[in-house]
Amino acid sequence: MATYLDVVNNVLRRLREPVVTSVNDSEYSAMIGVMVNDAKRDVEDAYDWNALSDTLTATTTASLFNYVLVGSKTRFRVIDVLNESEQSFMNYAASHWMNQQFLLTNPQNGKPMYYNFNGVNSNGDTQVDVYPIPDAVYTLRFNLIIPQADLVSDNTRILVPDHLVSMLAYSKAIAERGEDAGVQASEAYLQYRLALADAVAIERNHYQEEMEWVPV
């Protein structure tokens, strides 16, 4: 996995610009750093990359239904949610239904079977409500795709395929200053899209049980 600095220098080389020893060595390299972060976000949002998968655990307390998923932030995507203590999957419930259970009826206490995301805390982590309201201690496992935080340190390694981040950041850089030695931004972006399709196909092949074949 390439570092933040590696990818910035990769883009600079593509642009025929001098490489740097730190992302913030110059105004131009710092701008490329911004584009690398933008590109990383776009690549992260393009697919559920296995490198971004993580499991967050919430341990319940009796009579408490709201919990914080520490480290989740807000850009995550859900793979599945389990009540590990009961060895059962939990189901997503709409906010309207959850409000009805909590406010318009007599709330039930028991083993949590449903969940609903409800706001964020002061640290920017997502909060989750569970229902029925726990009547004991349960371990709830949230299997999520969690995008990496914005890159700041030169030595931070990029989790998603770094060649895609380089290619997309390069296309953004060309768009910012015009063509680069005859290469148009649209051409560079098309090359990125083709590489993205290849990378997604390769990763999907690792999980053939999730592949869906359709007639064409």
- How confident is the prediction along the chain (216 residues), in pLDDT tens digits per residue? 999 999 999 999 999 999 999 999 999 999 999 999 999 999 999 999 999 999 999 999 999 999 999 999 999 999 999 999 999 999 999 999 999 999 887 899 999 999 999 999 999 999 999 999 999 999 999 999 999 999 999 999 999 999 999 999 999 999 998 765 667 888 999 999 999 999 999 999 988 766 555 565
Q: How many C-beta neighbours within 10 Å does residue 162 have?
A: 20
Q: Are 138 and 111 in contact (CB under 8 A)?
A: yes
> Exposed, middle or buried: residue 124 (CB in 10 Å: 0-12, 13-18, 19+)?
exposed
Non-local CB neighbours of 60 within 8 Å, separated by 6+ positions? 67, 112, 130, 134, 136, 137, 138, 139, 140
- pLDDT score at 179: 65
- pLDDT score at 214: 52
- pLDDT score at 215: 60
- pLDDT score at 49: 97
Q: Are 130 and 115 in contact (CB under 8 A)?
A: yes
Q: Can you give the length of the chain in residues?
A: 216
- pLDDT score at 9: 98
- pLDDT score at 216: 52
Whole-prediction pTM: 0.90
